[in-house]
């Protein structure tokens, strides 16, 4: 029987869960899989058979006493380890009990450095899903060292230049993984479906629900900057109450057919979320990347990498004047979209699934990494 692969899935936003489902769906049908998460509803409707372990939601959990709070000086090798939190003890116990009871062959963390350390201490091979950001701190470096490998759901060309060579050597780059599987229409067909004109520039602003939200005020200035264009916002925005609305700025809210809107667009303005980047790359549109605040500067660092490849315009701050917005849109129109398109891979989910299964099987068959590589090397001699 094949060894079980167990996932820890962070429940903030939807991206971690959607990525896990895309990969797990490509596993062999006889591969046992467990998902451990504080929000199992994220996996509602997932057709592939998995075991779900519900973890406590530790976000906002209170420390038992002020003294414990004062004593909880975070060690450099960790990031979030308060003292005296029962929910944290229960989380660790549930994970350890599962890994022990199921004799899991591989533990995949998407995403937590501490969970990787826990698995390594428990003698379970671990893989960490890579994310961009300033992660050269002792905690992340320790997690990278503890892993039997890392899984990067993006193209290696999008890698940060400060990622250590030794860590790069044990990283599987899948190519850009897009978790949206909706059929991509041509621009004409997409506009016809959405009732949009053929002869007007359409700028789609794609916002999300994983962070503080996209501010509405700068979008009103953007609308003034291009009065002949139509700005369509899909997703939530943050209002301050003083904004002036314009006729060429429309809010469509949450929509189920994001792909249609992107296909209908001439320019896309969006954050630097993993799936967002790759969905725009899949469709191929000039991309203005406005990174949201994230821990360790995750989206800012990714936006820098996109700009280095000339795959997107990096919007470092929201412009507050018409002239700057006009310059931003003009730069976007000049982008070579092939630089972005090359970052998407239609096979990324299959590559990730195959690599994870092969990693688990190789370790438990007893093969070394050298033995795994030698047959190919010998065949080329």
What does the pLDDT look like over 248-288, one tens digit per residue? 999 999 999 999 999 999 999 999 999 999 999 999 999 99
Instruction: Specify the pTM.
Output: 0.93
Q: What mean pLDDT, rounded, does the chain reach? A: 94
In a domain, 214, yes or no: yes
Q: How far is CA 101 from CA 2, 3, 34, 252, 366, in A?
A: 15, 13, 12, 48, 22
- Give the whole-number percent of the chain exceeding pLDDT 70: 96
pLDDT at res. 13: 77
- Give the whole-number percent of the chain exceeding pLDDT 90: 90
How does pLDDT run across 116-138, given as a tens digit for each residue? 999 999 999 999 999 999 999 99
Same domain, 161 and 215: no
Query: 32 versus 367: which is more confidently predicted?
Result: 32
pLDDT at res. 376: 34
pLDDT at res. 371: 45
Q: What is the mean pLDDT of residues 106-123?
A: 97
Q: How many angstroms separate the CA atoms of 127 and 144, rounded?
A: 9
Same domain, 169 and 238: no
Same domain, 143 and 256: no
Question: 337: closest CA among 312, 320, 362?
Answer: 312
pLDDT at res. 379: 33
Same domain, 138 and 257: no
Using the 8-state DSSP alphabet, how is residue 291 labeled? P
Backbone angles phi, psi at 5, to 5 degrees: -110, 125
Same domain, 152 and 208: no
Which strand (E) or helix (H) includes residue 374? helix 369-379
CB half-sphere exposure, 98, CA atoms < 13 A: 25
How does pLDDT run across 208-254, given as a tens digit for each residue? 765 567 999 999 999 999 999 999 999 999 999 999 999 999 999 99
Those residues with Cβ within 8 angstroms of residue 166's Cβ, 6 or more apart along the chain or in another chain: none
pLDDT at res. 132: 98
Roughly what angle, to the nearest 10 degrees, separates helices 15-24 and 348-365? 70
pLDDT at res. 14: 86
Backbone angles phi, psi at 82, to 5 degrees: -65, 160
Using the 8-state DSSP alphabet, how is residue 292 labeled? P
User: β-strand 33-37 against 5-9: which pairing, if any?
Assistant: parallel
In a domain, 182, yes or no: no
Tell me how many domains the chain contains: 2
Same domain, 323 and 263: yes
Same domain, 351 and 334: no
61 band by pLDDT with thresholds 50, 70 and 90: confident
CATH code of the domain in which 118 resides:
3.40.50.2000
Same domain, 355 and 322: no
pLDDT at res. 80: 87
In a domain, 250, yes or no: yes
In a domain, 330, yes or no: yes
pLDDT at res. 377: 33
pLDDT at res. 59: 83
Q: Is residue 378 scored above 80 in pLDDT?
A: no
How does pLDDT run across 90-102, given as a tens digit for each residue? 999 999 999 999 9
Range(s) of the domain holding residue 169: 5-177+346-379
Query: 377 versus 310: which is more confidently predicted?
Result: 310
In a domain, 13, yes or no: yes
Same domain, 74 and 45: yes
What is the token pair recorded at 354? 């195959």
Question: 340: closest CA among 113, 187, 155?
Answer: 155
pLDDT at res. 369: 60
Same domain, 330 and 361: no
344 band by pLDDT with thresholds 50, 70 and 90: very high
Backbone angles phi, psi at 36, to 5 degrees: -110, 120
Same domain, 262 and 294: yes
Range list of H helices, 137-291: 138-146, 165-168, 187-194, 217-225, 258-264, 274-283
């Amino acid at each position: 029987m094949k060894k079980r692969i167990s996932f820890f899935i962070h429940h903030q936003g939807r991206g971690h869960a959607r990525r896990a489902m895309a990969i797990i769906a490509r596993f062999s049908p006889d591969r046992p899989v467990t998902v451990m998460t504080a929000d199992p509803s994220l996996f509602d409707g997932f057709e592939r058979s998995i075991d779900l372990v519900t973890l406590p939601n530790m976000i906002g959990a209170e420390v038992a006493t002020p003294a414990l709070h004062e004593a909880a000086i975070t060690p450099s090798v960790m990031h979030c380890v308060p003292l005296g939190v029962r929910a944290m003890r229960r989380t660790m116990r549930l994970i350890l009990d599962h890994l022990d009871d199921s004799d899991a062959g591989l533990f995949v963390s998407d995403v937590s450095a501490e969970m990787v350390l826990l698995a390594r201490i428990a003698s379970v091979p671990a893989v960490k899903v890579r994310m961009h950001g300033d992660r050269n701190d002792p905690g992340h470096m320790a997690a990278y060292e503890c892993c039997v490998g890392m899984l990067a759901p993006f193209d290696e060309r999008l890698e940060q230049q400060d990622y250590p060579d030794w860590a790069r050597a044990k990283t599987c780059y899948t190519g850009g993984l897009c978790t949206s599987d909706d059929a991509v229409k041509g621009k004409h067909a997409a506009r016809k479906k959405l009732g949009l004109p053929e002869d007007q520039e359409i700028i789609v602003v794609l916002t999300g629900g994983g962070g503080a939200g996209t501010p509405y005020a700068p979008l009103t200035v953007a609308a003034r900057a291009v009065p002949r264009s139509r700005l369509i916002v899909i997703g939530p925005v943050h209002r301050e109450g003083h904004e002036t609305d314009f006729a060429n700025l429309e809010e469509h809210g949450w929509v189920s057919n994001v792909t249609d809107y992107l296909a209908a667009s001439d320019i896309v303005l969006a954050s630097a979320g993993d799936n967002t980047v790759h969905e725009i790359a899949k469709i191929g549109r000039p991309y203005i990347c406005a990174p949201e605040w994230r821990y360790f500067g995750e989206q800012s660092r990714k936006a820098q990498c996109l700009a280095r490849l000339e795959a997107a315009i990096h919007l470092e701050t929201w412009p507050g004047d018409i002239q700057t917005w006009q310059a931003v849109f003009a730069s976007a129109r000049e982008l070579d979209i092939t630089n972005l398109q090359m970052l998407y891979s239609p096979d990324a989910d299959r590559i990730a699934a195959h690599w994870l299964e092969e990693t688990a099987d190789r370790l438990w068959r007893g093969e070394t990494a050298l033995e795994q590589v030698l047959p190919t090397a010998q065949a080329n001699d």
